[in-house]
């Protein structure tokens, strides 16, 4: 068997999967986005840019997504990093496994059920009631952007913790000792050794969480209560309720384009950061 043939055989399953699961549906959406809604809902073939012209009708959904997804990613990063650091660097081997399991435990129940718990917590009988008993009246949390932010940060935190944890866990702890030995203050050690050496974990975590948040619909539906909705909610509405497949496809295409652009820019930035770091080191 030639090397070439073997390579082809190895790549074949992945390629087949990619074609069936990604390229085909994407082509369908692409074609639909130039079509029209059938009178009874669904799709009739056509070639029109009408659906794209109509996109501003869903401006709020795009706005919410493009604000809350990056914000949620950053918040998740800010909370996840210290947590991952504590787990990877400070915790003794004995407790590590237990605490790591605790990070995963929420995944054992569906996000649906956990979001319902948040509905209760943020709703009238939860935190607002508690605040009221302390004399802080009329705090409204549920069905606000804040509630959605809390929900998405909560839901996606583990996905941020793990890549960062892995990169910090892989970090040779003796490097931290070496830095201290050379007279570096712990804060300096963090900035010059720990942070640069965990940048790959940060990049992976942010990318993962950001991409998933861009397509999120469940948490805004439950905690946003129809007031704070994402593009994902618009899509659910267009495909399942109003059955306007053509317009839904245009919205989906728009989301994909935005994602492609932001992810590309993000990748550029990350590799630029790496290059700069390399340059700075050439004395």
Partner 1 sequence: MLKSNLDMGNEAYTERAVASASIAELNDVSKLFGTVQAVSDMNLRIAQGEFLSFLGPSGCGKTTALRMLAGFETPTTGKVLIDGRDVSTLEPYKRPVNMVFQSYALFPHLTVGRNIAYGLKQRRPKIDSKSIDDKVTHALETVRLSGFENRRIWEMSGGQQQRVALARAIVNEPKLLLLDEPLAALDRKLRKEMQIELQDLQRDLGITFVLVTHDQEEALSLSDRICVMRAGRIVQTGTPQDLYDQPNSRYVADFVGTSNFFDGLVNQINGSTGSISLRGGRIYKSHLSGAISVGNDACLSVRPEQIRLHLSGTPETLEGKVLNRIFLGEHTEYLISQESLGNITVLAPRQSDEGLSNLGTGDTVYMDWSADAALILPKD
Interaction of residue 177 with partner 1, rule CB under 8 A: yes
Does the protein bind partner 1 through residue 64 (CB under 8 A)?
no
191 near partner 1 (CB under 8 A) = no
Cβ closest to partner 1, residue 167 vs residue 249: 167
- Tell which one of 4, 90, 94, 174 touches partner 1 (CB under 8 A): 174
DSSP H helical segments within 192-230, as ranges? 195-197, 199-214, 218-223
Residue number, 188 or 264, with CB nearest to partner 1: 188
Contact flag: residue 11 with partner 1 (CB under 8 A): no
The angle subtended at Cα 219 by Cα 214 and Cα 225, nearest 5°, is 115
90 lines the binding site for partner 1 (CB under 8 A):
no
The C-alpha angle 221, 215, 167, rounded to 5 degrees, equals 115
Task: Determine if 45 is a binding residue for partner 1 (CB under 8 A).
Answer: no
Q: Which stretch, 113-121, 137-145, 191-199, 248-256, contacts partner 1 (CB under 8 A)?
A: 191-199
Question: Under DSSP, is residue 36 helix (H, G, I), strand (E, B) or coil?
Answer: strand
What is the residue-wise DSSP string for 53-95? HTGGGGHHHHHHHHHHHHHHHHHHHHHHHHHHHIIIIIS-HHH
- Name the minimum Å distance from CB 210 to partner 1: 25
Is residue 13 near partner 1 by the rule CB under 8 A? no
Q: Is 179 in the site for partner 1 (CB under 8 A)?
A: yes
Where does this chain bind partner 1 (CB under 8 A)? 172, 174-175, 177-186, 188-189, 192-193, 196-197, 277, 281-283
């Amino acid at each position: 068997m030639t090397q070439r043939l073997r390579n082809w055989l190895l790549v074949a399953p992945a390629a087949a999967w990619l074609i069936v699961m990604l390229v085909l549906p994407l082509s369908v959406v692409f074609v639909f986005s130039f079509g029209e809604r059938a009178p009874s809902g669904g799709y009739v073939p056509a070639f029109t840019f009408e659906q794209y012209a109509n996109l501003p009708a869903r401006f709020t959904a795009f706005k919410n997504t493009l604000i809350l997804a990056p914000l949620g990613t950053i918040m998740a990063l800010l909370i996840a990093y210290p947590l991952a650091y504590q787990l990877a660097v400070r915790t003794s081997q004995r407790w590590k496994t237990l605490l790591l399991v605790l990070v995963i435990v929420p995944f054992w129940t569906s996000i649906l059920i956990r979001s319902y718990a948040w509905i209760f917590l943020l709703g009238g009988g939860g935190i607002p009631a508690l605040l009221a008993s302390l004399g802080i009246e009329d705090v409204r949390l549920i069905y606000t952007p804040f509630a959605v932010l809390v929900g998405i940060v909560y839901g996606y935190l583990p996905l941020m913790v793990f890549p960062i944890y892995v990169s910090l866990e892989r970090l040779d702890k003796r490097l931290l000792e070496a830095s201290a030995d050379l007279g570096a203050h712990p804060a300096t050690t963090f900035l010059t050794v720990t942070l640069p050496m965990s940048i790959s974990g940060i990049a992976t975590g942010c990318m993962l969480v950001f991409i998933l948040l861009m397509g999120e619909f469940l948490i805004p539906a439950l905690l946003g209560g129809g007031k704070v909705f994402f593009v994902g909610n618009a899509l659910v509405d267009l495909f399942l309720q109003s059955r306007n497949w053509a317009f839904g496809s245009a919205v989906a295409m728009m989301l994909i384009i935005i994602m492609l652009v932001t992810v590309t820019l993000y990748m550029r930035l990350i590799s630029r950061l790496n290059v700069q770091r390399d340059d700075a080191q050439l004395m």
